[in-house]
Amino acid sequence: MTEVSAAKDAMAATDELVVLKSVNKHFGALHVLQDIDLTITRGEVVVVIGPSGSGKSTLCRTINRLETIDSGDIRIDGKPLPQEGKGLARLRADVGMVFQSFNLFAHKTVLENVMLGQIKVRKTDKKAAEEKARGLLDRVGVGTQADKYPAQLSGGQQQRVAIARALAMDPKVMLFDEPTSALDPEMINEVLEVMQQLARDGMTMIVVTHEMGFARSAANRVVFMADGRIVEEAVPDQFFSNPRSDRAKDFLSKILHH
Amino acid sequence: MTVKLTVFSALGSLVLGTLLAAMRVSPVPLMRGFGTAYVNIVRNIPLTVIIVFSSLGLADIFGVTLGAPDNFDLQGFRLAVLSLVGYHAAFVCEALRSGINTVPVGQAEAARAIGLSFGQTLRLVVLPQAFRSVIVPLANVLIALTKNTTVAAAIGVAEAATLMKTMIENEAQTVLIAAFFAFGFVVLTLPTGLILGWLGKRLAVKR
């Protein structure tokens, strides 16, 4: 364990950034989230894994209320999630989100994609917004593509732009909803590298992914979900080498040995 | 007069149609209900009935004279524009709504995720993409509108059809006159269709 994560552990008790308490959600008859309790502290990287349909993406989307919940309590930085309206928009600006299908604004250039939120939500003036956008695009390695449209970029490049777009809002926490699942294998690494860098820089991250390598190397904690429940929570080393629950053992045996 | 009617009505119906479309996708049930009711009522009434009602009903019975109580020509023109706007807005709305449905849900989700409000999401992200995908069907509405201006003849607005009627009453060359006016409309509508068709291709959003 490095000093950084030790320091993080010390802060953990006091600095809770995202707190979910007995959250429940149904899709019709399907109980997709069952009594979810989860606390994420500032600077922590939590990776959520589990089989398809276990509710991981839904969990991720409830945190900025793209999905509503039926019961329970979600707090971000001490404040409960507001209802629809201005308050919710403000909160979403503080919670960055990266989607599986990138969702870059198709009618705007890469640069405009990264500037839009700054100008319209943060009310930054245009020049400062452009400067920051170019800086972020350089940081994720697509600075030379700034004036192209999303459709002209590869999937990996688009996803890195999407990360830059989220970062432009100076979010307190970043949600990644299967950011590499729609990518060709050779493009996965370029996105994961950007995410690794973010994690090293101390960003609070909640990552839903199937990339076990990323979970091992970047996560402070692994959350394993199955059938709408959190089955197991552990540090990566412990989880991958010695899972406690049968469900997790079964899952890991299927994905790690082939 | 036909051109003037077309231009004013086209602009008006684009604005009203966009507002109606925004209502029909809004999260407020009351607005959704209003939008739906408006479209379903208005598009199922013949335009002639609407225009005649605007003159006989609105103006003569309810005294709505649109700021021109004494100038019958101006009043007729304004009532005709109002009717044409009200009628075609329903079609613009439906064209636009089908365009909104072509914009992937993820676009709106991403817009909301960076903190844009519902109005901003619609204005900055969804509608610009929706408009581009419905330019061709909008051209249809515009062409229909150009031709529908002739219905304004029913309340005595001096547009092309009124003019044609007067000329046919005074001259012997009825077929020639009719052909001339028909050709006039083709001259107005053909470029509209061609230009907007070209624009639709050019501005199409690549995904």
We report the CATH number of the domain holding residue A167 as 3.40.50.300
Q: Pairing relation of β-strands A95-98 and A221-226? A: unpaired
- What whole-number distance in Å separates Cα of residue A94 and Cα of residue A104? 18
- pLDDT per residue as tens digits for the range A59-116: 999 998 999 899 999 999 888 888 877 888 889 999 999 999 999 999 999 999 999 9
| The pLDDT value given to residue A61 | 92
Q: Which residues of chain A are within 8 Å of residue B111 when distances are taken between CB atoms?
A: 105
Q: Which of A257, A249, A200, A196 is nearest to A226 (CA)?
A: A249
Q: Which residues of B touch A58 (CB under 8 A)?
A: none
Residue B46: count of CB within 10 angstroms of its CB: 10
The tens digit of pLDDT for each residue in A127-176 reads: 999 999 999 999 999 999 999 999 999 999 999 999 999 999 999 999 99
What is the chain B residue with the closest CA to A89?
A: B115
Which of A86, A93, A102 has the CB atom closest to B114's CB atom? A93
Q: Closest partner residue to B205 among A66, A106, A169, by Cβ?
A: A106
Domains, chain B, in order of start with CATH, read 2-203 (1.10.3720.10)
Mutation site for A-interface testing, chosen from B102, B107, B114, B122 by largest number of A Cβ within 10 Å: B114
Mean pLDDT of chain B: 88
Pairwise CB contact (< 8 Å): B107 & A103: yes
Distance in angstroms (rounded) separating the CA atoms of residues B14 and A142 = 39
Q: Which two tokens stand for residue B16?
A: 């009203």
| Residues in A touching B106 (Cβ below 8 Å) | 99, 101-103
- pLDDT at residue A2 tops 60: no
| β-sheet with A79-80: strand ranges across | A30-41, A16-27, A71-76, A79-80
Contacts of A99 in chain B (CB under 8 A): 106, 109-110, 113
Q: Which two tokens stand for residue A10?
A: 């010390």
Query: Looking at beta carbons, which residues of chain B come within 8 Å of A117?
Result: 114-116
Q: A interface toward B at CB cutoff 8 Å?
A: 64, 66, 84, 86, 89-97, 99, 101-107, 116-117, 120-121, 149, 151-152, 162, 165-166, 169
Please indicate whether, in this complex, the C-beta atoms of A93 and B115 are within 8 angstroms of each other.
Answer: yes
- Which of A96, A99, A121 is closest, CB to CB, to B106? A99
ipTM score here?
Answer: 0.84
A176, β-bridge pairs: A98, A207
Least CA distance to B206: which residue of chain A? A151
Residue indicated by tokens 């979910």? A20
Q: Are B111 and A105 in contact (CB under 8 A)?
A: yes
User: Does B112 contact A106 at a Cβ distance shorter than 8 Å?
Assistant: no
What confidence score (pLDDT) does residue A44 get? 93
What is the number of structural domains in chain A? 1
Q: Is pLDDT at A184 greater than 70 in this prediction?
A: yes
- Predicted confidence at residue B150, as pLDDT, reads 87
Which residues constitute the domain of residue A50? 3-256
CA B28 to chain centre: 25
Contact A89 B106 (CB under 8 A): no
How far is the alpha carbon of A239 from chain B, nearest alpha carbon, in Å? Answer: 32
Q: Which helix (H) or strand (E) holds B8?
A: helix B2-25
* pLDDT at residue A258, as a whole number: 54
Q: Do A121 and B111 touch (CB under 8 A)?
A: no
pLDDT by residue, tens only, chain B of 207 residues: 788 889 999 999 999 999 999 999 988 899 999 999 999 999 999 999 998 888 888 777 777 767 777 777 788 888 889 999 999 999 999 999 999 999 999 999 999 999 999 899 999 999 999 999 999 899 999 999 998 988 888 787 777 888 888 888 888 788 888 888 888 888 888 988 898 888 888 888 777
Q: How far is A33 from chain B (nearest CA, A)?
A: 21
Chain B contacts to A (CB-CB under 8 A): 27, 104, 106-107, 109-117, 120, 124-125, 128-129, 132, 205-207
